[in-house]
């Protein structure tokens, strides 16, 4: 069983990651903590709670965390997916009002206490999955340094080793948004698995996947989830067409979940990872230095350098099918 505590900015493919987790065998989501931009973190956490409710994931605490980076000014980031997400929230709120269920509100503790308590209460058991700026995770490990050794492992979508950046020439978006938090993450946690642009940009889905995601019965909460999935994938494909000339969506965040579940999907290279914090043109660069066999210990960072993208995409699609084929 892979027990995942998920820290996320809850934008487009983050929500697809939660849905994929619901369709993965032997994965349990222990909590979801949010980073906010445009929509505040606590509201993003409410969206996660509504999504868990719609998916039948009961008892998953969700909590809002930071709304801005540790030191840098906030960045807006891509907002193409906010339309389908806010529409889902509105329609789920209407349903939730009718159902009057108690577990669709964010956890009042907030993100950092939820992260710290979950790890301390389950030493050696929790996989931390991070797919947003790493502000909440950095604050958690700065406030409670013992969690660095109590966590089972840390897997992130973020950074890039030998592929150009997607936000600056050398920097990936999550690291670029809060480079100081990313630096804390790599300094304080002894073994981070970095699933970055080197592999996520090779793992693509296009809109043809939507044809295989249909539901027989109508009117259910899960149908609202399906409509959000369709909206997110279409919006992301549009953005990629404009940005990269290819109408296909990289599975940035879902791939990190799949690697946490099955590391054999990627080839992992032991590396020393530092985050550039002062370069005029290189701030937010993840500087990865491959370690030799003698230098690499069991507790060293690892960078995903190759991916079985066909198997990753097939696994992702079959997760979604599992969710939407399930009887509601």
Residue 203 near Ca ion by CB under 5 A = no
The minimum distance between CB 121 and Ca ion, in angstroms, equals: 26
Structure tokens at 143: 């406030």
Among the listed residues 7, 14, 153, 198, the single contact to Ca ion using CB under 5 A: 14
State how far the alpha carbon of 185 is from the alpha carbons of 201, 231, 280, 311, 315, in Å.
Answer: 23, 33, 22, 29, 29
Write the binding mask 205 to 244 for Ca ion: x where contact by CB under 5 A, - elsewhere: ----------------------------------------
Residue 131 near Ca ion by CB under 5 A = yes
Q: Show Cβ contacts of residue 97 under 8 Å, excluding neighbours closer than 6 positions.
A: none
Binding region for Ca ion (CB under 5 A) out of 143-151, 181-189, 209-217, 248-256: 248-256
- Of 256, 61, 228, nearest to 155 (Cα)? 256
Binding residues with Ca ion: total (CB under 5 A)? 5
Residue 17 near Ca ion by CB under 5 A = no
How open is the CA angle 90-94-97, to the nearest 5 degrees?
135
State how far the alpha carbon of 118 is from the alpha carbons of 9, 105, 112, 210, in Å.
Answer: 19, 18, 10, 36
- Of 19, 117, 81, nearest to 323 (Cα)? 19
Residue with tokens 């966590």: 151
The minimum distance between CB 297 and Ca ion, in angstroms, equals: 30
Binding region for Ca ion (CB under 5 A) out of 7-15, 92-100, 197-205, 242-250: 7-15
Distance between terminal CA atoms of the chain?
Answer: 24
Alpha helices, H only, 207-268: 221-244, 252-261
Residue 132 near Ca ion by CB under 5 A = yes
- Determine contact, residues 260/21, Cβ cutoff 8 Å: no
Binding region for Ca ion (CB under 5 A) out of 3-11, 23-31, 203-211, 222-230: 3-11
- Determine contact, residues 92/137, Cβ cutoff 8 Å: no
How open is the CA angle 206-309-47, to the nearest 5 degrees?
60
The minimum distance between CB 225 and Ca ion, in angstroms, equals: 18
Paired strand residues for 268: 304
Binding region for Ca ion (CB under 5 A) out of 1-9, 46-54, 105-113, 224-232: 1-9
Among residues 49 and 255, whose Cβ is nearest to Ca ion?
255
The minimum distance between CB 275 and Ca ion, in angstroms, equals: 18
State which H helix or E strand residue 274 sits in.
Answer: strand 266-275
The minimum distance between CB 176 and Ca ion, in angstroms, equals: 13
The minimum distance between CB 9 and Ca ion, in angstroms, equals: 5
Among residues 81 and 104, whose Cβ is nearest to Ca ion?
81
- Determine contact, residues 103/56, Cβ cutoff 8 Å: no
The minimum distance between CB 252 and Ca ion, in angstroms, equals: 7
Binding region for Ca ion (CB under 5 A) out of 12-20, 35-43, 84-92, 292-300: 12-20
How open is the CA angle 64-67-69, to the nearest 5 degrees?
125
Residue 315 near Ca ion by CB under 5 A = no
Among residues 10 and 288, whose Cβ is nearest to Ca ion?
10
Structure tokens at 3: 């027990």
The minimum distance between CB 11 and Ca ion, in angstroms, equals: 5
- Of 225, 229, 249, 227, nearest to 238 (Cα)? 249
Among the listed residues 9, 30, 153, 172, the single contact to Ca ion using CB under 5 A: 9
Binding region for Ca ion (CB under 5 A) out of 193-201, 237-245, 253-261, 272-280: 253-261
Q: What is the contact surface with Ca ion in residues (CB under 5 A)?
A: 9, 14, 131-132, 253
């Amino acid at each position: 069983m892979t027990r995942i505590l998920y820290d996320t900015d809850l934008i487009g493919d983050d929500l697809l990651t939660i849905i994929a987790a619901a369709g993965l065998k032997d994965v349990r989501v222990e909590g979801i903590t949010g980073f906010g931009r445009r929509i505040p973190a606590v509201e993003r956490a409410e969206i996660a709670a509504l999504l868990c409710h719609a998916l039948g994931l009961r008892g998953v605490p969700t909590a809002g965390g930071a709304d801005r980076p540790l030191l840098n000014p906030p960045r807006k980031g891509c907002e193409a997916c906010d339309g389908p997400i806010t529409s889902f929230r509105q329609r789920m709120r209407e349903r939730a009002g009718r159902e009057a269920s108690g577990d669709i509100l964010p956890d009042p503790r907030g993100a950092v206490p939820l992260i710290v308590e979950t790890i301390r209460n389950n030493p050696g058991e929790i996989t931390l999955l991070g797919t947003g700026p790493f502000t909440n995770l950095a604050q958690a490990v700065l406030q409670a340094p013992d969690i660095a050794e109590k966590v089972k492992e840390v897997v992130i979508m973020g950074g890039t080793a030998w592929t150009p950046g997607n936000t600056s020439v050398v920097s990936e978006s999550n690291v670029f948004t809060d480079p100081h938090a990313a630096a804390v993450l790599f300094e304080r946690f002894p073994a981070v698995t970095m699933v970055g642009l080197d592999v996520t940009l090779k793992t693509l889905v296009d809109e043809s996947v939507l044809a295989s995601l249909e539901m027989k019965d109508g009117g259910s909460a899960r149908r609202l989830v399906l409509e959000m999935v369709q909206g997110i994938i279409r919006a992301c494909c549009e953005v990629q067409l404009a940005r990269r000339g290819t109408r296909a969506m990289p599975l940035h965040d879902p791939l990190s979940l799949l690697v946490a579940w099955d590391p054999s999907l990627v080839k992992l290279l032991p590396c020393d990872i530092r985050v550039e914090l002062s370069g005029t043109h290189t701030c937010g660069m993840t500087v990865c230095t491959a370690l030799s066999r003698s230098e690499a210990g069991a507790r060293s960072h690892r960078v995903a350098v190759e991916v079985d993208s066909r198997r990753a995409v097939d696994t992702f699609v079959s997760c979604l099918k599992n969710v939407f084929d399930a009887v509601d």
